[in-house]
Amino acid sequence: MWNNFFFIGLPYIAALILICGTVYRGMSGAMSGHRGKWEMSARGDFLWTTRSTGFFGRASIGPASLCLHWGILVLFVAHIVGFIGGAYNITSLVDIFRWVGLAAGIVFFYGILWAFARRMVIPQVRAMSTPNDYIVLLFLILITGFALYQSAVSQIFGVSYSVGPWIASVVKFQPDASMMAGAPIVNKLHVIVALFFFAYLPFTKLVHIFSYPFGYIGRPLISMRRYVAIKK
């Protein structure tokens, strides 16, 4: 029963909330004072942005930001490659996913821990942080932690050959939970927590990754100057 819920029902629930929640929030200003004013712009929803903390502890934000952004981009591509390799039984693609995903996962995990530590250690960043900021980071720590434990500690490889066909069955609207029934528990937890995270994502600051076609991507540039230049 639980396999059917997590690997048949949950993927569609998460996808529905992710798509509908993002569109509603982006076009209605759902989390700001502009509720109900529907338009093809996110400018009415000021919480669409990341609420940058770069003004505080600037020396510490660089490593976290670089590792987070580059890590997630490489992981996204690596997962697509791995899913295709698993679905079509292409060993070379699965091997690429194995090693590239492991390297990018370590970089991303380092960035998440650094970002979490910044919010806990730097007083100004901690003061402007919301519970949502910590929840997002804890979700990412769990998802990446399960993946790294699976690949680096337990050294469980080849799960793409079960996950890839399962994702293909979900996309075809012919979900087959039996493909995930024999997967290691840590792999199941990685997938399940990721699905819950996708459902939660529209209600977080991470919606800025879906900026297009909303107006945030075309906002005026912000002029940034170093303090030394200002004194001159």
Q: What is the CATH number of the domain that holds 75?
A: 1.20.950.20
Question: What total number of domains does the chain contain?
Answer: 1
Which residues span the domain enclosing 73?
2-231
For the chain, the straight-line distance linking the first and the last C-alpha, in angstroms and rounded, comes to 68
pLDDT tens by residue, 42-93: 444 555 666 666 556 666 677 778 888 899 999 999 999 999 998 888 999 9
Alpha-carbon gap, residue 107 to 200, rounded angstroms: 24
At 125 the pLDDT is 79
For the four alpha carbons of 18, 83, 141 and 125, in that order, the dihedral sign comes to negative
Q: What is the pTM of this model?
A: 0.82
Burial class (CB in 10 A: 0-12, 13-18, 19+), 2: exposed
Angle among Cα 109, 129, 136 to the nearest 5 degrees reads 40
